[in-house]
Structure 1
Amino acid sequence: SMIQGEDTVFQQQVYTLIHWLKEQEQPDIIHLSSSLIIGIAKAIRQTLPDIPIVCSLQDEEVWIDALKDTDAQTAWQGIADQSRYIDRFVTSSHYYKEYIEKRLPQIKGVEVVYPGVDTTKYASGQYPEAPTLGFFYRMNELNGLGILAEAFVKLKKADSIKNLRLRIGGGYTSADRKFIKQIRRLLSPYVEDVDWLDTYNLQEHAAFYKSISAICVPITFDEGVGLYLCEAFATGRPAIEPATGSFPEVIGDAGVLYTPNSAPALATAIERLFATEWDSCRRQALARSAARYNEEVQAAALYRIYSQ
């Protein structure tokens, strides 16, 4: 209903929003955070025709393609139909721009605006004494925690990286508990070398990245961009990621890419990073953060689009 905009309750809420926009906020631009709420656009266009509407696109397929086939087709068609009410679409990587323009040919001229973070919150010249891998995303199989855990165990058995540690954060839901129990069991021989953050809040982000040497979230799907990478780069932490989706574009020389996305290939990539490439990748991470993934650069790019 949020895509098609036909649900009665949804429409009531939309018109409450529009009344507020018209009578109180009176914006110059309206930017929808996701095409999954694009059903708002038609009502806005009809009521406030002179206000441009911008809409962000990112990882829609993760949600839509998990639906039943008929529901997924309806959702994609709904986005295509509602796109006529959008003045400009933006997305977070050239990878996803190409993907979405092929998936929805009705949408053309998508602008790329890389995500940005407040780098002052993440700035850190300190690194842990022991080489420490970090996983900071929802703790589930889809996001590759199992692959990373297997690679970590392989490296500990080989003792190829002295004093290697693993920190795991990002939170989980009740649906993930069985999987997490399995991962804890897998990692149990090295319990002294693994730190788990069982709680999650936004305030933990910067502190987590400052406590690791490199970020690794070996997700098992093609992602449009990973904000965890942008945050890690702001602290000068390089990445180890599979060469899939947007990762080659996002990471560049600020980390090590590997293929296939398997535990043995990941273990080899981790060895490579810490053996010879960590310092150069660390410097590249900071450079990428300064040139691309900070909020000032993002704001300037959005302002250019808003001003057109």
Structure 2
Amino acid sequence: MREESLPNAAAADTRPLRIAVAMLTLVPGGMGGGETYARGLLRGLASRRDIAATTYVSKAGAGFSGRIPEVVCPEISGGGSSKERILALVTGLIRRKALLTRMEGNDVFHVPFAVNVPVPRRSMPSVQTLCDVQHRDLPHLFSRVERLYRRVFYERAARKADAVVTISRFAKQTIVDHLKIDADKVFIAPLAVDADEFTPNTGERENFIFYPARGWAHKNHATLFAAMRILQSEQPDLRLVLTGGGLERLTDVPENVDVKGLVPFAELLELYRRAKCLVFPSLYEGFGLPPLEAMASGCPVASSTAGSLPEVCGDAAVMFDPNSPRAIADGIMDAIARTAELQAKGFLQVKKFTWESCAEAHEVAYRYAVSCHAQPDI
């Protein structure tokens, strides 16, 4: 697949490209990896001299944008509940004209959270971020209503957009295969970690393994629990620590598992620093940031082979079949045994992913959208 790089003509353009980054569905503190992506992207865009981005946020998202100019749209209150999310969609439809008027003067409309709020004018080039099509690959994990919602809001927006941004080669291929979108208009912008936020520990580590993930079905906690029952007899002092939202829904939790739920970021950093190993048994990932965060912390990684994880982890992790409890247990013990080797490889792997590179790939997509939009229909 093609590498995303700026064409010479684009690089020679002296006028910054003005980007309206519509983040009206942003709920700070409640969007996991999507929020990390948005924050990192804005940091990267702020450093690009050929981009002049402005964010448009709800009242709930005020103050999120860092060094990027921010416009708060008072029409939309925002919020994380289902009622508040539906209200944001309805308000975006009803107040579409006022919202779009506020965005006039920009060259490109970009929505980083899959759902277009508001729906952009056809006269403005548009870019949509679509991180994955998990509802197509694992439909049994979604209700009928959830599948319908994604097909209406995610897929329709992607097909209408002038360019689509996604986060891995795996995600691009599944988008092209399932949605029949021209591969030339799908751009890969891998996520990253801010290495400065993570302090690596190459010394002694405590006798627990760590899994930070929400309690969603594809995060595969049940099979991990089966692996922990195997380890309970083989390594009785080794424990598993879980963090993330929605973990209260988990059932049949083994005795050697500690469920912490949501924790402050500072505590998350300490868990990465202290853990014997990060285990990541996910059945599906469009990208998967925790393995890179662990590597930046000097924490060896045992990861699933599912989705994008092989391209994210490279040779810096022990890879295992996420459907086999025995394979997960063996992967954990192998990663612990190879700590020094995996630490060295992990530090190198993390350097391959930067928010600056992510922002550059977005700029390529923005300029592609402008050039395609300018072409007359045949």
Q: Say whether the fold is shared (TM-score over 0.5).
A: yes
CA RMSD, Structure 1 to Structure 2 (Å): 3.0
Residue 98 in 1 paired to residue 98 in 2? no
Structure 1 residue aligned with 2:233: 157
* % same residue: 22
- Give the counterpart of 2:352 among 275, 291, 305: 291
Structure 1 residue aligned with 2:28: none
Equivalent residues of 1:128, 1:212 under 8 A apart? no
> Which residues of structure 1 form unaligned runs of 5+?
none
- Report the Cα offset of residue 75 of structure 1: 4.7
**Structure 1 residues 230 and 20, CA gap change in structure 2 (3 angstroms):** farther
- Report the Cα offset of residue 195 of structure 1: 4.3
Residue 112 in 1 paired to residue 173 in 2? no
d(CA) in 2 for partners of 1:80, 1:214? 37
Structure 2 residue aligned with 1:32: 111
- Report the Cα offset of residue 13 of structure 1: 3.8
**Structure 1 residues 230 and 307, CA gap change in structure 2 (3 angstroms):** farther
Residue 136 in 1 paired to residue 212 in 2? yes
Amino acid at match of 1:88: A
Equivalent residues of 1:168, 1:195 under 8 A apart? yes
d(CA) in 2 for partners of 1:30, 1:117? 26
- Report the Cα offset of residue 111 of structure 1: 1.1
Q: 1:207-218, aligned counterparts within 5 Å? A: 207-218=270-281
TM-score, with length taken from structure 1: 0.77
**TM-superposition CA deviations, 1:39-98 (whole Å, max 9, x none):** 744xx223xx24x322111234349942328x7368536655444542211111101111
d(CA) in 2 for partners of 1:82, 1:230? 30
d(CA) in 2 for partners of 1:143, 1:61? 12
**TM-superposition CA deviations, 1:107-139 (whole Å, max 9, x none):** 432111110122100132345433431110113
d(CA) in 2 for partners of 1:248, 1:89? 23
Equivalent residues of 1:55, 1:88 under 8 A apart? yes
**Structure 1 residues 241 and 132, CA gap change in structure 2 (3 angstroms):** same
Equivalent residues of 1:83, 1:107 under 8 A apart? no
Structure 1 residue aligned with 2:65: none
TM-score, with length taken from structure 2: 0.64
**Structure 1 residues 45 and 266, CA gap change in structure 2 (3 angstroms):** same
Amino acid at match of 1:129: R
Residue 256 in 1 paired to residue 256 in 2? no
> Which residues of structure 2 form unaligned runs of 5+?
1-24, 26-88, 369-378
**Richer in helix (by share):** 1
**TM-superposition CA deviations, 1:214-236 (whole Å, max 9, x none):** 221312x3221112223222223
d(CA) in 2 for partners of 1:8, 1:134? 40
- Give the counterpart of 2:361 among 280, 301, 304: 301
- Give the counterpart of 1:55 among 114, 120, 128: 128
Structure 1 residue aligned with 2:294: 232
